[in-house]
Amino acid sequence: MGESRPIASAAPSEESATSSSLPPPPPPPRQLLSLVQPSQRKKQRPIKLFQLFRSVFRSFPIITPVCKLPILHGGLPDGHRNTAGSRVTGTLFGYRKGRVSLSIQENSRCFPNLVVELAMQTSVLQKEMSSGMVRIALECEKRPEKDRLKLLEEPIWTMFCNGKKSGYGVKRDATDVDLNIMGILRPVSMGAGVLPGNSEVEGPDSEMAYMRAHFDRVVGSKDSETLYMLSPEGNNGPELSIFFVRI
């Protein structure tokens, strides 16, 4: 038998040593790929039925914060919910210790048409919702005709919640975080819950709370639109109305 010799182990190359010390790349944002562009549907013309809602809206003392809103039991008449306007998907979401945002989508599969950061913490809105009825009014001033934007393209709004001035709502472009949340919630048509928070930003105990529902979108004129939240059949849950108005 011949003399056996030890086999020398191959030294790791500089490239492999360098690659092993690097952290793995982050996973791709798969949720973003699941959203689609909204369809280019023509806007519906204002209808006479909205005159009833507009007369009710004008009675809201949203300009005087010390007054209370009148209670309208039952919300919209049952026969008017589907005929008053188009149906959209609305999502209220935010960290419990942060400000709540509103996202409006054509449906849960589409990119947002509108994202507004509201002047209210998520925990405060949850407390208001527990009272059973919330009316949010977003107001802006009229511009000269030559400088006028479409109503939902206005950049900043004065916000009232149940008749009390809360601060200012700000329209913004959807961020990667917003789109990621919408992608995660794509299978959810209606519901509420919490999502894991970003511990690096909000701390280890953070949670992203959300509430999603269908809304009837009623276009009264170029200076007024209203979103009425629709509850599932037989569910006497909280009522939520969101008013956009130029005064």
pLDDT digit string (tens) for 135-174? Answer: 999 999 998 988 889 999 999 999 999 999 999 999 999 9
Rounded Cα distance, 71 and 94, in Å: 27
Task: Read off the pTM.
Answer: 0.68
What is the DSSP secondary structure assignment for residue 36, as one 8-state letter? B
Rounded Cα distance, 99 and 93, in Å: 9
Q: 4 lies in a domain?
A: no
pLDDT digit string (tens) for 189-216? Answer: 999 999 886 656 555 557 899 999 999 9
Q: 145 lies in a domain?
A: yes
List the beta bridge partners of residue 132.
none
- % pLDDT > 70, the chain: 62
Handedness of CA 51, 53, 55, 57 (dihedral sign): negative
Domain range enclosing 112: 86-247
Q: 56 lies in a domain?
A: no
Q: 108 lies in a domain?
A: yes
Mean pLDDT across the chain? 75
Q: 227 lies in a domain?
A: yes
39 SS3 class: coil
Q: 164 lies in a domain?
A: yes
What is the DSSP secondary structure assignment for residue 187, as one 8-state letter? T
Question: Tokens 């949670």, residue?
Answer: 207
C-alpha angle with apex 24: 21 to 28, nearest 5 degrees?
Answer: 160
Q: 51 lies in a domain?
A: no
DSSP string covering 78-111? GGGTTTSSEEEEEEEEEETTSEEEEEEESSTTBP
Number of domains, the chain:
1
Rounded Cα distance, 95 and 178, in Å: 12
What percent helix, strand, coil does the chain show, rounded to 5? 20, 35, 45
CA 174 remoteness from chain centre: 10
Q: 223 lies in a domain?
A: yes
Structure-block tokens of residue 58? 């004008």
